[in-house]
Amino acid sequence: MSVSRILPGLVLMIGLCLSGCVSLLPEAGEDAAIYDLPGSQRAPTSDGPRHTAVLKVANVVCAQPHASARILVRSIKADLARDEPLAGALWSEPLPDLISHRLVESLRQSHLFSGVTQKNDPIDAAYLLSTTVNSFELRPTGTSLEAHVEMTFLLSHHKDRRLLESRTLGARVPAASLSKDAGISALSQAFSKVLEDLRSWLAARPLKPTL
């Protein structure tokens, strides 16, 4: 194994040990495991849409370093945050794309709108949902890990981009152990909670069908 592959893992190991955590380094020769985010946990409904309008989901925006396929561990010392990749683990695609796909899938299955489209779909929409990822990482907490997920959503008129409302939603879920699988499971649960809160927020909005 080359030094360039070993070094990021060594940095993460040192950071976690200083935080009281065991190493999350993979075994020698282990390839990176690929992880996905869960889709909607709610069964599709045959009921009519809550809003007789079409919603367009804009591309998700992630600030660096969340804009890649790396799964991050954030440590904070002396009020300084440091993000390191979780050794031996990657998302199945860059995080903004992965979240975008799950948002569209979840909102379509919720039947909140008469239609849910993506940026390049040639379908007129009445409303636009824009998403910014503020945090999406694991954080050491003493001798354990906790998943932190927070996203800001903007609901606007699609035609003139006039803002209707914004909402920041987040969730924290402790990992069951220090293993990679437990950490990813905690991130998935936190993300699912944010999706549920997003659907509840959109369902409560009195939206008109006009473009």
Residue 59 main-chain phi, psi, to 5 deg: -60, 135
Q: Which residues on adjacent β-strands are paired with residue 131?
A: 153
Each residue's pLDDT, cut to its tens digit, for the chain (211 residues) gives 443 443 344 344 444 444 434 344 444 445 789 999 987 666 555 565 678 889 999 999 998 888 999 999 998 776 777 889 999 999 999 999 999 999 999 999 988 999 999 988 888 899 999 999 999 999 998 888 999 999 999 999 988 999 999 999 999 999 999 999 999 999 999 999 999 999 999 998 887 765 5
Confirm if 136 and 62 have CB atoms less than 8 A apart. yes
Q: Which two tokens stand for residue 138?
A: 């694991």
Give dist(CA 136, CA 151) in Å, integer. Answer: 9
Domain residues of the chain, as ranges? 3-24+45-203
CATH top-level class of 3-24+45-203 = alpha beta
What is the distance between the alpha carbons of residues 23 and 41, in angstroms, rounded to a whole number? 32
> What three-state secondary structure class fits 155?
strand
Long-range pairs for 187-191: beta carbons < 8 A, 24 or more residues apart: 187/37, 187/71, 187/136, 187/137, 187/138, 187/147, 187/149, 188/37, 188/38, 189/147, 190/147, 190/148, 190/149, 191/37, 191/38, 191/99, 191/102, 191/136, 191/149
Q: How far apart are CA 190 and CA 148, in angstroms?
A: 7
